[in-house]
Amino acid sequence: MIELHSSVAKVQETLRQSGFDNQVEQLPDSTRTAQEAADTIGCEVAQIAKSIIFRLKPSDRPVLAVASGVNRVSEQLVEAHVDGKLGKADAAFVNEHTGYVIGGVPPIGHSEPIVTFIDEDLFRFHCIWAAAGHPKAVFQLTPDELAGMTKGKVIRVVAE
């Protein structure tokens, strides 16, 4: 059995402690982007649950949007559910508030609680894939499991 990278092991342990039996997989190729993840896994790009961290102004708190790999998150649609404006989060901010590097941010197991919104488009699929703490690690789950794990609010994140 391959020893898990420490950040990947943290995600696996978070799943276990939360009562989920999903298994993290470390892959030979990068899953840093939704396209790379889909190519490596062999699924549709839309089945990739990409985690995007925003910086909420003026509170400087993180906000997580978990979106379908084909969707671009509308900051205005997410802002309708928070008190403030969303701004870009740089790599240092993401790492500080989640404990993970960009390209490997999972939807769970963060350094601190993060308000989470889930793209309703993910619910078109029976199975989806999320990052697991490293750019070469993922885990399979259902949209309902994602909602349960994150306690996230399901919303429309893409503008028509």
Across 121-146, b (16+ Cβ under 10 Å) vs e yields bbbebeebbbbbbbbbbbbbbebebb
First vs last C-alpha separation in the chain: 46
Domain annotation for the chain: domains and CATH numbers: 6-155 (3.90.960.10)
Helix/strand number for the chain, H first, E second: 5, 8
pTM: 0.94
| pLDDT one-digit tens code per residue, 125-159 | 999 999 999 999 999 999 999 999 999 999 999 97
Q: Pull the structure tokens for residue 66.
A: 């978990």
| pLDDT one-digit tens code per residue, 75-105 | 999 999 999 999 999 999 999 999 999 989 9
- 28 burial via Cβ count (<10 Å: 0-12, 13-18, 19+): exposed
What is the CA 24 to chain-centroid distance, rounded?
Answer: 14
Mean pLDDT over the full length of the chain: 94
Question: 70 near 45, Cβ under 8 Å?
Answer: yes
Q: Which distant-in-sequence residues (6+ apart) come within 8 Å of 87 by Cβ? A: 54, 55, 56, 57
Q: Pull the structure tokens for residue 14.
A: 């978070």
pLDDT tier for residue 1 given thresholds of 50, 70 and 90: very low
Length of the chain, in residues? 160
